[in-house]
Amino acid sequence: MLIEEAIRNRASIKVFSMEEVSADLIERCLDAAVWAPNHHMTEPWSFRVLTGDAREMLARVAKDEMVRRATGLDVAVAQAKAFKERQKLLSAPAIVAVYSDAGPDEKTTRENFAASAAAAQNILLMAQSLGLASIWRTSATYEYPGVRQALKVPEGSTFVGALFLGYSAQREVRRRRTPAAEKTLWITEDNPLA
């Protein structure tokens, strides 16, 4: 598949069939991730792959965290929130949570995050080229101390995204973008630096 095709045809998919994604396909996505550019070769990314029962286990840890943080009547609200989060976690057969290492200073940490986001996009594009559907999701779940501990996430690292992978069970989605030309200024002789 041409890279342009993968880029243009990738779409965020929210409804997946329950068909499993083979470990081989997930590994191919991860192998693509680590070829992302990264300053000073920090290779700041780390991945946590959740399939099958692991998603249910994560939902349980997240629920414990949500309920523990709630007080009084909020407990019912937290339980409802946890139920919704569980539904979400079980909606895709595979989830790749991406974390980015902290650097020795703020600049490096920021650059690491940019590199890890590029790695995440590599996963989405590789998934697209392998016929997989995907969505990049964020949620407080992956940042809870209990969840970080359960996932053995490196100390100080930042959550980048949870990439849900599977096979689409959704009708084609309509997507829209502002043309690049409207976001671009060409600096030329006729249109020089200010």
Interface with ligand FMN by CB under 6 A: which residues? 11-12, 135-138, 161, 175
Region at 124 (left for phi over 0; alpha for psi -120 to 50; beta for the rest): alpha
Q: How far is the CB of 135 from ligand FMN (least distance, A)?
A: 6
Q: How far is the CB of 188 from ligand FMN (least distance, A)?
A: 31
Q: Are 135 and 14 in contact (CB under 8 A)?
A: yes
Query: Which CB atom, from 177 or from 187, has the smaller least distance to ligand FMN?
Result: 177
Structure tokens at 62: 């997240």
Q: How far is the CB of 173 from ligand FMN (least distance, A)?
A: 6
Query: Which CB atom, from 138 or from 149, has the smaller least distance to ligand FMN?
Result: 138
Query: Which CB atom, from 40 or from 175, has the smaller least distance to ligand FMN?
Result: 175
Query: Which CB atom, from 12 or from 108, has the smaller least distance to ligand FMN?
Result: 12
Query: Which CB atom, from 118 or from 151, has the smaller least distance to ligand FMN?
Result: 118
| Own/partner pairs, 115-119, CB within 8 angstroms, 24+ separation | 115/36, 115/37, 115/38, 115/39, 115/42, 115/43, 115/44, 115/45, 116/36, 116/44, 116/45, 116/158, 116/160, 117/160, 117/161, 118/36, 118/37, 118/38, 119/33, 119/34, 119/36, 119/45
Structure tokens at 110: 């920021």
Q: How far is the CB of 176 from ligand FMN (least distance, A)?
A: 9
Q: How many CB atoms lie within 10 A of CB 106?
A: 9
Q: How far is the CB of 140 from ligand FMN (least distance, A)?
A: 10
Q: Which residue is nearest to ligand FMN (CB)?
A: 12
